[in-house]
Amino acid sequence: MELNISGLKPVKETKKDELEGGTEKVIIIGAGPAGMSAALYAARAELSPLLLTGTQIGGQIALSHIVENYPGFPEGTGGADLTELFQKHAEKFGARFEFDHVTSVDLSKRPYLVNTYSKQFKAETLILATGASPVHLNVPGETELTGKGVSYCGTCDGFFFKNKKVIVVGGGDSAMEEGLFLTRFASSVTVVHRRNELRAGAFLSNKAKSHPKMDFIWNSVITEIIGENAVEAVRLKNVVTGEEYIHSIDGVFIFIGHHPNTEMYKDYLNLDENGYIQTDTSLKTELPGVFVAGEIADPTYRQVITSAGMGAAAAIQATRYLEKIED
């Protein structure tokens, strides 16, 4: 794949002997499966990578109650437990974790600059693995009632809905996984989906449909979330008939997708129409020594194992790049 760099800020290539002191060989931005796998592979290459975690180590996986499809765990494993294992594995070989949040980058010249809340770092190579964030409904009441009955994480907030009625918005794997988890606490889980069939895989779809606590409202969307100090009801609209009505509920859990966290790279890297970073087949960007991994470049698969694989590949490419410029 040939990358188009027209319209982007040019980068000034810096020779090896011009690199400033204190420059990190590899900086990884993001501590999800992609970032931590990249840290492991870069550490095993004896590059002493620095991983900047952001506000949450583990990314979305840390919020998953159980991960059932990661190889080597036939009985499943907790998302937080898997996160801890990833970190320990990377640190064992010399990866360094800095618990700080990146606020901006300057990719106009090498060494690249990475600014955080507390300091500035310089990097010969970068691996960008900042993941994706939940998509919102953008309806009245959503923002005002977030944390007051509106949630984007069943694992985080399910406990607070014991014996209450909740709605899950969405029809994919994440929605069904979270909905099934919520049945541990809620008295009922109603799935609201804008289509007349689920997008989730067969196993999860069948499991959800057969669960006694779960029911479904098809061909419908939420147009308003209603409540004063907490969620009390939602306004539903049938997208086929146009009918609208009020549905009483105690909580709304929204799982309708994610958008990539790529805003701070837009002046330097090519993004597609949905904001995902464009790369060649080797996870290289148009900038020398800048690689990407995980959901900021993957709108298709978005699995723990695929993100981890991308992280490993990006680290291998960064290693080869450093070997080349040091020859």
Measured in residues, the chain has a length of 327
Q: How far apart are CA 149 and CA 137, in angstroms?
A: 14
Q: Are residues 242 and 262 in the same domain?
A: no
Catalytic residues, by residue number, are: 153, 156-157
pLDDT score, position 22: 82
Query: What confidence category does residue 13 fall into, taking pLDDT thresholds of 50, 70 and 90?
Result: very low
Q: What does the pLDDT read at residue 17?
A: 41
Domain boundary among 214, 232, 254: 254
pLDDT attached to residue 19: 42
In a domain, residue 3? The reply is no
pTM value?
Answer: 0.75
Could you tell me which residues come within 8 angstroms of residue 24 by beta carbon, excluding any fewer than 6 positions away? 48, 49, 50, 121, 122, 123, 124
Same domain, 127 and 269: yes
Of the candidates 100, 111, 57, 52, the residue with the CA atom closest to the CA atom of residue 81: 57
41-69 per-position pLDDT tens digit = 999 999 999 999 998 899 878 877 778 78
- 60 in a structural domain: yes
Question: 199 and 234: one domain?
Answer: yes
As a whole number, the mean pLDDT across the chain is 91
Q: Residue 233 belongs to what H/E stretch? A: strand 233-238
Confidence of residue 121 (pLDDT cuts 50, 70, 90): very high
Is residue 245 situated within a structural domain?
Answer: yes
Residues 123, 225, single domain; the answer is no
Locate tokens 């501590």: which residue? 31
Instruction: Report the alpha-carbon angle 118-124-130, nearest 5.
Output: 55
Quick one: 101 and 249 in the same domain?
no
In the predicted structure, residue 15 carries a pLDDT above the cut 50: no
pLDDT in tens, 140-177: 999 999 989 999 888 778 889 999 999 999 999 989 99
Q: Express each pLDDT in 123-148 by its tens digit.
A: 999 999 999 988 999 999 999 999 89
d(C-alpha 53, C-alpha 36), whole Å:
9
- Residue 283, pLDDT score: 96
Whichever domain contains 300, its CATH number is: 3.50.50.60
Between 8 and 101, name the one with better pLDDT: 101
Q: Is residue 319 part of a domain?
A: yes
Chosen domain end from 223, 254, 285: 254
Q: Are residues 157 and 82 in the same domain?
A: no
Report how far apart the first and last C-alpha atoms of the chain are (Å, whole number). 26
Same domain for 154 and 247? Answer: yes
Can you give the pLDDT at residue 156?
Answer: 74
Per the structure, how many domains does the chain have?
2
pLDDT value at position 60?
78
- Residue 223 Rama label (left phi>0; alpha psi -120 to 50; beta): alpha
Residue 14 pLDDT exceeds 70:
no
In whole angstroms, give the CA distance from residue 214 to residue 282: 43
Owning domain of residue 84: 16-134+258-326
Q: Which of 23-37, 116-130, 222-236, 298-312 is the least confident region?
A: 298-312
**Are 246 and 263 part of one and the same domain?**
no
Confidence of residue 217 (pLDDT cuts 50, 70, 90): very high
Is 240 domain-assigned?
yes
Task: Give yes or no: residues 274 and 308 share one domain.
Answer: yes
- Does residue 191 lie in a domain region? yes
Question: Which of 254, 271, 292 is where one domain is finished?
Answer: 254
C-alpha–C-alpha distance, residues 20 and 105, integer Å: 17
Show the tokens assigned to 135.
Answer: 């998509």
pLDDT of residue 59: 86
